[in-house]
Amino acid sequence: MANTPGQGAELTDRRIIVAVTGGIAAYKTCTLVSRLAQQGAQVTVMMSEAATRFVGPTTFQSLSGRPVFTSLWQAEDRPDAQHIGLAQSTELVIIAPATANILAKIAHGICDDLISTVISALPRDTPVLLAPAMNAEMWANPITQDNLAKIKDILGYHTVGPESGWQACRTAGEGRMSEPDQIYQAAAELLA
């Protein structure tokens, strides 16, 4: 991927968490993590248990060059609670794919895994970028739309996508995760 003018330098040493939740679009997140790391960002990947069914943690560890967090109980390098340390040490969180499940957890303050707990512990001024990805019917569900509206209105989180197109369920419709380059560009703009 070629750099466009101004890209790359603004991400050098920026601390970014990429949270990967359980959707088939997780394979696209590999490209996003690689691109962020190539631009000098310090990328920490968190994965839900469901996400590990689509892409293995070793893939993200290789792409980011850093440990991958998959459990609330994992303690890598901190004497404090890992979720608090992760939340306080990041400049941006990207959730890609952002499934209907994680949107519901965020909207209702449910903290039952690493990703939802870190999100709830973020300082209020930490930007969060959601890249929704789900089946068109799930995306159109009024509860999903209400959850997303609540997240945007109350927490001020940002979104990129979703797009319309072919989906893993063998239908076409809105709900396809944005391409890694679109997510990268939205992230770079939030950190500018």
Q: For residues 86 and 70, is the Cβ–Cβ distance under 8 A?
A: no
Cα separation, 37 vs 89, in Å, equals: 17
Quick one: which H or E segment has residue 171?
A: none
Q: 162: cis peptide before it, omega within 30°?
A: yes
Note if 30 is an active site residue: no
* Residue 73 CA to its chain's centroid (Å): 20
Beta bridge partners of 164: 174
Q: Which residues contact 111 (CB under 8 A, 6 or more apart)?
A: 105, 117, 120
* Rounded-to-integer distance, Cα 156 and Cα 14, Å: 21
Tokens of 152: 């945007």
- C-alpha of 66 from chain center: 16
d(CA 95, CA 112): 16
Among residues 121, 169, 190, 191, the one annotated as catalytic is 169
Residues marked active site are found at 169
